[in-house]
């Protein structure tokens, strides 16, 4: 089932409202806290989703959303680098969600505008439900700041194993010199 334009506009407004509420909620609870990482990332997401509603970087909606998601990923990574922010639950979910949304948007753009497919099939349903589910999960993680899908835990374990492999390779190279 592909979501039609009317329902899509309502869902888009709900998602924008959700990111606004996540930002305002984090603004209210972080007034006297020193750790404002969730507040900053919710602000970035709110601005991104709000601006993408009326600034057009492309005549194609899917490409416009793709560009904004990629720009948001870049802004978040730049913020983490320059502010020396350590990866936390919120960034894992947001970056994973934006990447997944970008892949889905690029796929649907290619299917509809490059291959000129006009008949609904599984990708359209996956896109319709996938993007909205990912958006809602990003809003939820900004509200509760908990690893409810264990993505951050899986990412941390994977990164630890990768860093252990790199350190073993470095030790092996130093030993063989």
Domain tally, the chain = 2
Confidence of residue 2 (pLDDT cuts 50, 70, 90): low
For residue 173, the model assigns a pLDDT of: 45
Instruction: Provide, rounded to the nearest whole percent, the portion of the chain with pLDDT above 70.
Output: 88
Query: Which residues, 6+ apart, have CB-to-CB distance to 166 below 8 Å?
Result: none
More confident: 1 or 57: 57
CA-based radius of gyration for the chain: 19
Same domain? For 23 and 66 the reply is yes
Same domain? For 137 and 173 the reply is no
For residue 9, the model assigns a pLDDT of: 82
Same domain? For 73 and 158 the reply is no
Same domain? For 110 and 156 the reply is no
- Structural domain boundaries, residue 168: 149-177
Distance CA 128, CA 122 (A): 10
Same domain? For 94 and 29 the reply is yes
- Model pTM? 0.87
Same domain? For 117 and 175 the reply is no
For residue 131, the model assigns a pLDDT of: 94
Query: Which residues, 6+ apart, have CB-to-CB distance to 20 below 8 Å?
Result: 46, 50
Same domain? For 164 and 110 the reply is no
Q: Return the SS3 of 1.
A: coil
Same domain? For 42 and 92 the reply is yes
Region 123-133 average pLDDT:
92
Same domain? For 52 and 82 the reply is yes
Same domain? For 64 and 85 the reply is yes
For the cut 80, the answer to whether the pLDDT of residue 21 exceeds it is yes
Residue 31: enclosing H or E segment and its boundaries? none
Cβ neighbour number for residue 133 with a 10 Å cutoff: 12
Same domain? For 123 and 174 the reply is no
Confidence of residue 8 (pLDDT cuts 50, 70, 90): confident
Distance CA 141, CA 90 (A): 6
Distance CA 93, CA 142 (A): 9
pLDDT digits (tens, 9 = 90+) for 60-106: 989 999 999 999 999 999 999 999 999 899 999 999 999 999 999 99
Cβ neighbour number for residue 140 with a 10 Å cutoff: 16
For residue 169, the model assigns a pLDDT of: 46
């Amino acid at each position: 089932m592909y979501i039609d334009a009317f329902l899509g506009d309502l869902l888009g407004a709900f998602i924008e409202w959700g990111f606004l509420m996540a930002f305002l909620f984090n603004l209210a609870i972080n007034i006297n806290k020193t750790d404002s990482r969730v507040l900053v990332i919710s602000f970035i997401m709110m601005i991104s989703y709000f601006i993408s509603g009326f600034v057009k970087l492309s005549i194609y909606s899917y490409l416009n959303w793709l560009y904004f998601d990629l720009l948001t990923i870049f802004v978040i990574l730049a913020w983490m680098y320059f502010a020396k922010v350590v990866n936390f639950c919120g960034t894992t979910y947001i970056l994973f969600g934006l990447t997944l949304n970008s892949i889905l948007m690029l796929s649907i753009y290619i299917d509809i505008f490059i291959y000129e497919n006009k008949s609904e099939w599984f990708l359209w349903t996956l896109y319709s439900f996938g993007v909205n589910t990912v958006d809602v999960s990003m809003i939820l993680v900004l509200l509760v700041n908990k690893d409810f899908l264990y993505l951050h835990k899986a990412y941390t374990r994977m990164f630890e194993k990768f860093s252990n492999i790199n350190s073993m390779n470095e030790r092996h190279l130093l030993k063989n010199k």
